[in-house]
Amino acid sequence: MMSHLPVEPSNAAAAIPLHSSQLALSLRGVHTHIGAYHILHGVDLDVPTGQLTMLLGRNGAGKTTTLRTIMGLWPASQGQVLLDGQPIHKLSTPDIAQRDIAYVPENMGIFGDLTVAENLLLAARQARSLKELDTQRLDWLFGLFPALKKFWLYPAGKLSGGQKQMLAIARAMIEPRRLLLIDEPSKGLAPAIILNLVEALKELRRSSHTTILLVEQNFMVAKALGERVAVMDDGRVVHSGAMADLIEDESLQQRFLGLSLGAHQ
């Protein structure tokens, strides 16, 4: 388990500062309270435009709270959340979502009694019936997640865990998004399903202009997908930089995660 760490910029994090114009999302000094509990303690986080940023850290470090704070589900008690340089932390969750931000929670949030088709239709703001869904967009999603086409009229609650996760991501992408927040997509999935999910997320990055912030505990997934990385501990970001630097430097892995990524290869 990772020990609580002081907030010190590593050499990798400090090497190339990002200009604000390069950032899709940034958090500045964000604190979040949930009832009597102080969860986030001044989070500073940069998510570059058009890249996939991994948010890593032990259980309880504040990763899910960070995503929920960005979405306004748990409002920031202090600090700023900026989307393309514009503050959004005082907006309601529906207003934040209207700015083309989609959130895939850890529990996936699908409607089990509805079909795959109906789940996607609910997420498509521009369509009122299945016939009004963007067929070109659907074909693209079916290319990423073929099982969704196969089980189009199947109750979502009867899908496998991996298929439910793919539906959750497809629902978030049924319309073009500028920012996608995903919370632990590989959790509870079999290794073969995780590999399929990784390939689908890689293709999503290649074929769209969506910026992705992804929370993950599986370090093989993090290694395969991440371009940038931020590591959290005790409600703060304690390291940020290029994912490649963290992968190549075992001392950084030990310092910030308490493990070696090499051990997970």
The pLDDT of residue 115: 97
| Model pLDDT, residue 264 | 43
Give 10-residue mean pLDDT values along the chain (265 residues). Answer: 40 48 92 96 96 92 96 96 96 95 90 95 89 92 93 95 92 92 91 89 86 91 94 94 89 70 45
Q: Which domains does the chain have, with CATH numbers?
A: 10-100+179-202+211-265 (3.40.50.300), 108-175 (no CATH)
In this structure, are residues 64 and 106 in contact, taking their beta carbons and an 8 Å threshold?
yes
pLDDT at residue 258, as a whole number: 67
Q: What is the pLDDT of residue 219?
A: 83
Rg for the chain, CA atoms, rounded: 18
pLDDT at 213: 97
pLDDT per position as a tens digit, 140-189:
999 999 999 999 999 999 999 999 999 999 999 999 899 999 999 998 88
Kindly report the pTM of this predicted structure: 0.86
